[in-house]
């Protein structure tokens, strides 16, 4: 096609996308039904992963929970089973939906797996395929926070942060994507962090891992678009200061709290679920992150630093790092007790 004609066509398409995006602000798209669909959530044992599991359970999805910590993973499973019981058992069913409930019995499956280990991921994914079936949702939520400045952080911890927060996405995606490609159906969700978009001082490894995950997500989106696999959706979730346990002790400066109020888990998870179920490509919470993200690209570096310093964003994690140090010194943190898991390859 003539380049000029193609340029005109692309311009029209771009304007159209703006129109659609604008419409979404006013007319909320319908949320898709996930009842009976299989959803794999990594890092389901705590934090954002656990909350997402609860939300998917409320909507009747079958859950496959992955976490390195068997105990917390089972706790999440217990919560999910209770939700199934309350909402999806015959006595709790919504009038008029009895037929759906009797046909689809949502279930929860738990697997202990260290997502930083490639072979474990592949073996467990095979097990999931055999025991549960094809998956529709892959939610990469597992994350760790080393809590040390670069020069104080042991090298193994630096590497571990990268492997869990970023490299694990390679393995989980490679494990489940082939089937999604075959069926041209699926949804991959990357739970990154606003700290991938706005770095802060003193947490080089965490910021590196989160922007790496974002880079991976965007690259994969473009790859899927290039091969025209429109049935596979992708959503990037960038919450800010959500995981209270991971970032305990950190506070944004008081004067910025009207703009960046401390976020409730529920609010972030609700926003994320809405984005996932309406197939939105990206969601940042709070929404002011979008403006900040735009300002970051336009403003000169000095002005960005001024902005960061005003909001306390350049050092807000320092309080959390101090808390982490105390926790590590008191042997409170069991975060890096990596357990050896013996897996048997099950033949289907």
Partner 1 sequence: MDLNNLGHALLFPFHMIFCILKSCLRLLIPSRRKDLRGEVVLITGGGRGIGRHLGKEFAKNGAKKVILWGRTERCLKETCEEISNTTEAECYYFLCDVANREEVYKQAKVVREKVGDVTILVNNAAVVHGKSLMDSDDDALMKTQHINTLGQFWTTKAFLPRMLELCHGHVVCINSILSLSSIPGAIDYCTSKASSLAFMESLTLGLLDCPGVGCTTVLPFHTNTDMFQGMRVRFPQLFPPLNPELVAQRTVDAVRTNTPFIYLPWTMRALVILKSFLPQAALEEIQRFAGCYTCMNTFKGRA
Catalytic site residue from 84, 206, 308, 316: 206
Q: Which residues contact 85 (CB under 8 A, 6 or more apart)?
A: 92
Distance CA 17, CA 11 (A): 10
Question: Which range binds partner 1 by CB under 8 A, 126-134, 195-203, 262-270, 329-337?
Answer: 195-203
Q: What's the closest the beta carbon of residue 37 comes to partner 1, in angstroms?
A: 23
Nearest to 157 by CA among 313, 333, 315: 333
Q: Which residues contact 193 (CB under 8 A, 6 or more apart)?
A: 143, 206, 210, 238, 239, 240
Rule CB under 8 A: choose which of 75, 132, 159, 252 binds partner 1: 159
Considering only residues 269 to 308 of the shown chain, the ones binding partner 1 according to CB under 8 A are 281-282, 293-294, 296-303, 305-308
Residue 35 φ then ψ, to 5°: -60, 130
Distance CA 314, CA 43 (A): 27
Q: Partners of 187 in the beta sheet?
A: 137, 233
The residue (of 73 and 209) whose beta carbon lies closer to partner 1 is 209
The residue (of 71 and 152) whose beta carbon lies closer to partner 1 is 152
Considering only residues 46 to 105 of the shown chain, the ones binding partner 1 according to CB under 8 A are none
Rule CB under 8 A: choose which of 177, 194, 238, 246 binds partner 1: 177
Binding mask 9-48 for partner 1 (x = CB under 8 A): -x--xx--xx-xx---------------------------
Let me know if 27 is exposed, middle or buried by CB neighbors in 10 A (0-12, 13-18, 19+).
Answer: exposed
The residue (of 56 and 145) whose beta carbon lies closer to partner 1 is 145
Rule CB under 8 A: choose which of 78, 82, 174, 287 binds partner 1: 174
What is the DSSP annotation of 241-286? S--TTTTTT----GGGTTTSPPPPHHHHHHHHHHHHHTT-SEEEES
Q: What's the closest the beta carbon of residue 57 comes to partner 1, in angstroms?
A: 29
206 is catalytic: yes
Whether the CB-CB separation of 53 and 80 falls below 8 Å is answered with yes
The residue (of 183 and 306) whose beta carbon lies closer to partner 1 is 306
Q: What's the closest the beta carbon of residue 115 comes to partner 1, in angstroms?
A: 14
Q: What's the closest the beta carbon of residue 155 comes to partner 1, in angstroms?
A: 6
Binding mask 108-147 for partner 1 (x = CB under 8 A): ----------x-----------------------------
The residue (of 103 and 301) whose beta carbon lies closer to partner 1 is 301
Rule CB under 8 A: choose which of 45, 196, 239, 286 binds partner 1: 196
Q: Which residues contact 314 (CB under 8 A, 6 or more apart)?
A: 200, 201, 305, 308
- Exposure letters 307-337 (e unless 16+ CB within 10 A, then b): bbeebbbbebbbebbebbeebeeeeeeebee
Q: What's the closest the beta carbon of residue 206 comes to partner 1, in angstroms?
A: 8
Q: Which residues contact 87 (CB under 8 A, 6 or more apart)?
A: 57, 58, 60, 93
Q: Where are the beta strands (DSSP E) in 102-240?
A: 108-112, 137-140, 186-191, 232-239
Considering only residues 308 to 327 of the shown chain, the ones binding partner 1 according to CB under 8 A are 308, 310, 314
The residue (of 61 and 208) whose beta carbon lies closer to partner 1 is 208
Q: What's the closest the beta carbon of residue 248 comes to partner 1, in angstroms?
A: 20
The residue (of 46 and 235) whose beta carbon lies closer to partner 1 is 235
Q: What's the closest the beta carbon of residue 32 comes to partner 1, in angstroms?
A: 18
Considering only residues 199 to 238 of the shown chain, the ones binding partner 1 according to CB under 8 A are 199-205, 207-216, 218-223, 225-226
If binding means CB under 8 A, how many residues of this protein chain bind partner 1? 73
Whether the CB-CB separation of 164 and 115 falls below 8 Å is answered with yes
Q: Where are the beta strands (DSSP E) in 145-249?
A: 186-191, 232-239
Active site residues: 206
């Amino acid at each position: 096609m003539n380049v000029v004609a193609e340029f005109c066509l692309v311009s029209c398409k771009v304007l159209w996308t703006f129109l659609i995006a604008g419409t979404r602000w006013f007319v909320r798209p319908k949320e898709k039904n996930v009842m009976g669909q299989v959803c794999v959530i990594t890092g389901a044992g705590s934090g954002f992963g656990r909350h997402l599991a609860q939300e998917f359970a409320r909507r009747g999805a079958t859950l496959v929970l992955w976490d390195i910590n068997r105990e917390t993973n089972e706790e999440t499973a217990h919560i999910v089973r209770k939700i199934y019981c309350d909402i999806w058992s015959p006595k709790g069913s919504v009038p008029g939906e009895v037929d759906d409930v009797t046909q689809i019995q949502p279930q929860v499956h738990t697997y202990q797996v260290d997502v930083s280990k490639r072979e474990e991921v592949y073996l467990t994914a095979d097990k999931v395929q055999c025991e549960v079936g094809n998956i529709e949702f892959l939610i990469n939520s597992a994350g760790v926070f080393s809590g040390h400045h670069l020069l104080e952080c042991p090298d193994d911890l630096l590497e571990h942060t990268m492997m869990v927060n970023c490299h694990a996405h390679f393995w989980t995606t490679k494990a489940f994507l082939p089937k999604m490609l075959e069926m041209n159906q699926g949804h991959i969700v990357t739970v990154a962090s606003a700290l991938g978009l706005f770095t802060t001082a003193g947490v080089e490894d965490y910021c590196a891992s989160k922007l790496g995950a974002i880079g991976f997500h965007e690259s994969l989106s473009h790859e899927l678009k290039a091969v025209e696999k429109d049935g596979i959706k992708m959503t990037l979730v960038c919450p800010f200061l959500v995981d209270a346990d991971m970032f305990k002790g950190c506070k944004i400066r008081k004067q910025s709290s009207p703009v960046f109020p401390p976020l409730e888990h529920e609010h972030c998870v609700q926003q994320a679920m809405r984005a996932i179920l309406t197939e939105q490509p990206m969601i940042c919470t709070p929404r002011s992150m979008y403006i900040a993200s735009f300002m970051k690209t336009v403003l000169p570096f000095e002005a960005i630093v001024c902005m960061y310093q005003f909001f306390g964003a350049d050092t807000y994690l320092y309080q959390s790092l101090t808390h982490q140090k105390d926790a590590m010194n008191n042997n409170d943190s069991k975060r890096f007790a990596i357990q050896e898991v013996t897996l048997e390859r099950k033949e289907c």
